A and B are shown apart, each in its own frame.
Chain A
Amino acid sequence: MNMKEQNALPIVFASFFKSGFKAKRTRAFILLSLIPVLLMLIMRVMETAGSLAANDAANFFAKVMLVLYFQLLVPVLALFFGSTIVNDELDNKTLVYLTTVPVRRRAVLLGKYLAAFLQAALLVGCGFLLCFLAANITRLGDAAAWEELAVFLGTSLLSLFCYSALFTAAGAFMKKSILIGLFFVFGWESVVQYFPGVTQKFTIIHWVKSLLPVPPGEGGFLIFQLQPSPPLESVLVLLAAGFLFLILAVFIFERKEYILSDNA
């Protein structure tokens, strides 16, 4: 029999990345991620038609879109993609297939995590790119604009990486992790980020916002009371937190006994 020990991670990744796009939830999120693009296009059309002042679309992008993306879309996508990595397997009772094959559980979890992360990153990245192009159509020849885009995209990827790792760990630990995740995103993160001093550093959004190239005072409520941390420190914290959450997720997933209902 032609059998060999091999790394299962790429196999799991490829399979779930492909099948993930057929899921109804992913299709719903594709539509959701197009809403900001639509808003941005409306702003651009209105500006072109003269209904808005010049640069209003660009300002709208800086003031509203960044909030929409970094405080809403990225955490929500990360929450749904991250927490369902294990929870979907439990709800659909399919976990048994991935845990009765001769591969380490960590390869299964990480393969599925990478697939979910890349799907979410594609949704956010494509939407963000389209929004950016619509907002900055007049300054596409400006290198600074592209530099800004690179920072936005990099920050959104880092943000997705960290949030989805956290929610993957939560999903591996408990069954109804989405509720806890919603509380975290719209409760803890929304409130604590405005606390003065060190407290706001106990949120992911603090480190994400610290990377955004919007000078204080120009970002409106986006940077209200934000005391930004240095960019390098923010990148390192987000990376370290993301990896720690992933290690925690693997630790839980390898040891936890998952009971697929109707016991007996």
Chain B
Amino acid sequence: MTAVLQAEKLSKWYGNILGISDINLEIGSGITGLLGPNGAGKSTFLRIAAGQLKPKIGRLTIFGEEVFGNHLLFRRIGFCPEHDSAYSEMSGWQFILLLARLHGFDRKTAAQMSEKALATVGLLESRDRQVKGYSFGMRQRLRLASSILHEPEILMLDEPLRGVDPLWRIRIMQLIKDYGRQGRTVIVSSHILPEIESMTSEIVLIHQGKIFAKGDIHRIRGLIDSHPHQVSLRCLRPRQLAQKLIESDFVSSVDFGPDGRSLTVKTNQRDLFFTALIRLIAEDGLEIEEITSPDDNLQAVFDYLIGK
């Protein structure tokens, strides 16, 4: 793999708050998912990579060059920030056109590129509306348009699917996959595992400012799946349900809740458990009022992995 982005002993902190610590990483072409819970250091890493922050220790290079203050490198970089920010007095068109002009395109080409970028994110029809009249999801798409309008070789997207409606979520995922297929480098951050999983198999797990694991998502999935999952259920006949579940090999324990209507099940094989549960509901007519899985959030997964 030829590294497009290279981080060596990269550390960054804000006063006493740690951003990232001692990160060594090489990212090549294709899509890489940067996965971690909120506050893990994903945005700090991407902001250093986008030349917004200076590393305290170590260095980060893109195409062999340091980024901060290297303005010409931004011809090759596209960055979609996480912040919900835009020039609210401008229209979507004015905003994108301004950036296209600043990317060095002449008027005609800038207009063509802006039109293409806005069409890609579905904002062409609302291009003349002021940005302050856009919904959250539209502003998110506008930010995405700003990062792809100059067709960069490396695209860095910080939580690009946040606040986007389901239809556009799928389209944006498709767009990201297309970028990856074209041989460009895409780094996409998220704290939602299935989001990343549907775009790429190459992931970097980041937690408390450090790279926790890197590699193929299936290997990491395996790590996650080998740990017991908890599922909380609420139903009218919890004892009957518990009796059925405890008979199976994949349930290791069942605890009853104090209200007499809920139970918490621990399982080592999450997928098998849910298949069996669906069967029980269908065949035995067990009515389930509520299913919650405290382990579904990424923080819980990380807690498992680091052995908390």
Which residues of chain A have a CB within 8 Å of any CB of chain B?
A: 1-6, 8, 11-12, 15, 18-20, 22-23, 92-94, 96-105, 254-255, 257-260, 262-264
The residue that B44 contacts in the complex, of A18, A23, A101, A263, with Cβ under 8 A, is A263
Select from chain B the residue with minimum beta-carbon distance to A88. Answer: B87
> Is B52 touching A100 in the complex (CB atoms < 8 A)?
yes
Rounded to whole angstroms, the CA-CA distance of A22 and B72 in the bound complex is: 32
Q: What chain A residues lie within 8 Å of B104 (beta carbons)?
A: 3-6, 102
Query: How many Å from the CB of B136 to the closest CB on chain A?
Result: 14
Which residues of chain B have a CB within 8 Å of any CB of chain A?
A: 14, 17, 19, 38-44, 50-54, 68-69, 71-75, 77, 79, 81, 83-90, 94-95, 98-99, 101-106, 108-109, 146, 151
The residue that B105 contacts in the complex, of A3, A12, A98, A263, with Cβ under 8 A, is A3
Q: What chain A residues lie within 8 Å of B87 (beta carbons)?
A: 19, 92, 94, 97
Q: What chain A residues lie within 8 Å of B146 (beta carbons)?
A: 97
The residue that A11 contacts in the complex, of B42, B79, B86, B102, with Cβ under 8 A, is B102
> Is B14 touching A19 in the complex (CB atoms < 8 A)?
no
Rounded to whole angstroms, the CA-CA distance of A93 and B98 in the bound complex is: 17
> Is B102 touching A2 in the complex (CB atoms < 8 A)?
no
Query: How many Å from the CB of A69 to the closest CB on chain B?
Result: 28
Query: How many Å from the CB of A89 to the closest CB on chain B?
Result: 9
Query: How many Å from the CB of B191 to the closest CB on chain A?
Result: 11
Q: Do A99 and B52 contact each other (CB < 8 Å), given the known contacts A4-B104, A11-B101, A263-B14?
A: yes
> Is B90 touching A100 in the complex (CB atoms < 8 A)?
no
The residue that A100 contacts in the complex, of B42, B50, B85, B98, with Cβ under 8 A, is B50
The residue that A260 contacts in the complex, of B69, B72, B83, B86, with Cβ under 8 A, is B83
Rounded to whole angstroms, the CA-CA distance of A18 and B91 in the bound complex is: 12
> Is B86 touching A102 in the complex (CB atoms < 8 A)?
no
Additional A-B contacts beyond A101-B99, A263-B43 (4; CB < 8 A): A22-B89, A93-B85, A97-B87, A99-B52
> Is A102 touching B85 in the complex (CB atoms < 8 A)?
no
Rounded to whole angstroms, the CA-CA distance of A93 and B158 in the bound complex is: 14
Q: What chain B residues lie within 8 Å of A263 (beta carbons)?
A: 14, 17, 19, 43-44
> Is B94 touching A19 in the complex (CB atoms < 8 A)?
yes
The residue that B83 contacts in the complex, of A1, A3, A5, A96, with Cβ under 8 A, is A96
Q: When A and B form their complex, which 3 residue pairs have the shortest distance between CB atoms, in order from nearest?
A: A93-B85, A101-B102, A22-B89
> Is A11 touching B71 in the complex (CB atoms < 8 A)?
no
> Is B53 touching A259 in the complex (CB atoms < 8 A)?
yes
> Is A3 touching B71 in the complex (CB atoms < 8 A)?
no
Rounded to whole angstroms, the CA-CA distance of A98 and B51 in the bound complex is: 12
Q: What chain A residues lie within 8 Å of B85 (beta carbons)?
A: 92-94, 96-97, 260
Rounded to whole angstroms, the CA-CA distance of A258 and B50 in the bound complex is: 13
The residue that A96 contacts in the complex, of B54, B79, B88, B94, with Cβ under 8 A, is B79
